[in-house]
A and B are shown apart, each in its own frame.
Chain A
Amino acid sequence: MSATVRKIQPAQPPPVGSGTRISWLKENLFSSLWNTAVTLLLGWFTVHFTLTVIDWALIDAVWHGESADACPRDRGACWAFVTARWQQIIYGQYPGALLWRVHTAFALALVLPFAFRLARGRHQAGIRATVLVILPVMAMLLLSGGILGLEKVPTDQWGGLMLTLVIASIAIVFSIPLGLVLSLARQSRLPALRLVAVGFIEFWRGVPLIVVLFAFVSMLPLFVPEGRNIDILVRTVIAFAIFNSAYMAEVFRGGLQSVPRGQYEAAEAIGLDYWKTMGLVVLPQAIRNSVPALMNTCISIFKETTLVMLIGLSDLLGVIQLSLEDPDWLGPTHIYGSAYLFAALLFFVFTYSMSKYSLRLENRMNVEH
């Protein structure tokens, strides 16, 4: 047989007309009579629903008022409740003259990720660690006061969104490192360490958070010296951090398992010891792979903070609940709908930002692959 030789064809652009918006509509939404009918019907529903919501939430809504009398009809939303109680919903009973401290603390928290990211160069790790410790400590000192001439604000005056954010962020900040340590202990070569870690994780994962909260609030004083009183907020935050560290540990375990055996072997083969192998090779990859699940847990923690209402703290939801029971607002149940919808939106703003941040974090990390 004689050989056949062909030239290499030049690459060509794809055929015209495919991939435009019009053609996409034609192919997907109006390809047949039945498809067109469904598209129109769903379109009508969407428009109708949107208009109804706009009517209720904006056009027929009541924006201002001092009591339930402002919202006699349930045709529109009663935002008057929200505007009248705005300060409690956001800050609880925090003294009005000292709100600048809350704002500054919040600003510090916002600056943290940027400061963390801007740290560059030879002392990167050191700067990051400092930022990670100093900014939260400054924020907490600002909130609680009692030093540097700042007037002390007892935690029973903290409340609303501010309290929700404080509990959630402290719980997250402490449960992540604790969880990481637990996950490492769980895969340790030392059986005792492994046993302790597994026992700890399984125990805290196995009990409902609300039970943990009740137990901490009532039992923790039994374990501290007579006469010492641990702040109820501190107890709550400890309970949250410990409880959630068990979940964090499992998140990191997943991340650790995603790092191939060969990575450990290659690191050991060049002479890295356990801590350097983990710190330089395994954890950077494991943590990167944990980010989606990690953010999932963070969002859970944030939403779970609403449980503190049941042990007498006035978080965002607690304040709304209390205010709704106020004689001024007692009565028409449609006010409840507006109030809780507002709470839901506020929660959503924060959880959605967290999930967006996590996506950005993942993308940034992927660039480095």
Chain B
Amino acid sequence: MTAIADKTPADPPIIRFEGVHKWFGNFHVLRHIDLDVVRGEKIVICGPSGSGKSTLVRCINQLETHQRGRIVIDGTELTDRLADIHTLRSEIGMVFQSYNLFPHMTVLDNLVVGQHRVRQLPRSEAESIARQHLERVRIADQASKYPGQLSGGQQQRVAIARALCMKPKIMLFDEVTSSLDPEMVKEVLDVIVDLADEGMTMMVVTHEMGFAREVADRIVFMEEGCIVEENKPAAFFNGPASEGGRFFLSQVLHYG
């Protein structure tokens, strides 16, 4: 496990937000976001729905574009004029709430297509990498099935493997357990915990507070498009510094 302590303060952040704003029509969804993430760091973003968590994460691979401010990923600033957004995206893995596997391809082909068509690896090499990653998410025996034949938990693990195949520098998880049946949440979270232990840089939007506490280096709490609190997980869960954080936890943990 890579400890953040190894990094010198001068180590440039792999993700940097500087005064980022975004609007959906008139709705001001991100309001002056400043955030630095260093290599190997695991950030959990939480907050009430509609607070802009997903939008923030989706700005990192430009599935959403920001309108003001700067976002710099590993030294590359994200602008409209960025010549090769596709290469950049291929180096950022993303896992979605609704899996979004390609239903017309086998599990194996889901993992091969990006390596073969974006990273230009020969098919045979892509397939062997794909199989390694299916092994890693404990689903190697399903390689020739179609996504529709798998359970939700299995599909989500395939989606994680698909992202990992691209050898990403950063992994983004956008509420990846929110549409799973309760008994399948753990198998997916276990895979993410393993990944965290290996030192992957991760940004995770989640409502799983127990998981957040275990895996996060830092909790980012959002409310109405703003980051209102950044804190160590232990400190955040023991007593958030912000009023919004305290209210949020009181709601989340109500039955917990």
* Chain A residues at the B interface, C-beta cutoff of 8 Å: 260, 262-263, 265-273, 276, 280-281, 284-285, 288, 368-369
Contact = CB atoms under 8 A, between A and B. Distances in A.
Contacts of B81: none
A284 B90 contact: no
Interface string B115-134: 00111000000000000000
Given A273-B86, A288-B104, A369-B146, A265 B96 contact: yes
Given A262-B98, A270-B162, A368-B146, A285 B104 contact: yes
Contact of A368 (B92, B98, B101, B104): B104
B113 interface: yes
A266 B105 CA distance: 13
Interface size class of B (residues with CB under 8 A): 20 to 34
Given A280-B113, A368-B146, A369-B146, A269 B104 contact: no
B100 A369 contact: no
A272 B104 contact: no
B72 to A, nearest CB: 19
Interface string B87-120: 1111111101010111110000000011001110
Contacts of B100: 260, 262-263, 265-266
Given A266-B101, A285-B103, A272 B94 contact: no
Given A265-B63, A265-B96, A266-B96, A272 B114 contact: yes
B94 A281 contact: no
8 contacts: A260-B100, A263-B100, A266-B102, A266-B159, A271-B119, A272-B86, A272-B113, A368-B104
Contacts of B104: 284-285, 288, 368-369
A271 B113 contact: no
Contacts of A260: 98, 100
Nearest to A273: B86
Contacts of B94: 266, 269
Contacts of B89: 268-271
A285 B147 CA distance: 14
B96 to A, nearest CB: 6
A345 B50 CA distance: 61
B114 A270 contact: yes
B117 A272 contact: yes
A281 B98 contact: no
List the 5 closest A-B pairs by CB distance, nearest first: A271-B90, A270-B114, A266-B100, A262-B100, A271-B118
Nearest to A262: B100
B61 interface: yes
Nearest to B162: A270
Given A265-B100, A268-B61, A269-B61, 19 more contacts: A263-B100, A263-B102, A265-B63, A266-B94, A267-B102, A269-B63, A269-B89, A269-B92, A269-B93, A270-B90, A271-B90, A272-B114, A272-B118, A273-B86, A276-B118, A285-B102, A285-B104, A369-B103, A369-B104
